[in-house]
Amino acid sequence: MSMEAVMRRTTVVCLLSIMVSVFQTGSLGAQEIDYSAEISDIDRQIIEAEKESKKYSGGLILGMIKLRISLLKSSRALINQGRIQDSI
């Protein structure tokens, strides 16, 4: 199996895990979520990961950092979606 296929499968598994986590949090109802704090934290992590990615020109580590950035951006989108749904 190629490295690209492994990374795709890893991405799918991670995204599904994040989605399940977000949906479980949303179904609790009693929990208040501070969306702005969560989004700020994720934005900070994205900036840090992008700085780290500039240290590498290629290879597995750069691929893993890019995967992390992609997952963080997906998490931010899911949180924004949750914020929109809560405001309805």
Task: Give the pLDDT of residue 1.
Answer: 61
pLDDT along the chain (88 residues), means of 10: 72 68 52 78 94 92 92 91 79
Residue in the block written with tokens 């929109």: 84
Torsional sign, CA 21, 39, 58, 52: negative
Residue 29 contacts by C-beta under 8 Å, 6 or more apart in sequence? none
CA dihedral 75, 77, 78, 82 (to 10 degrees): 130
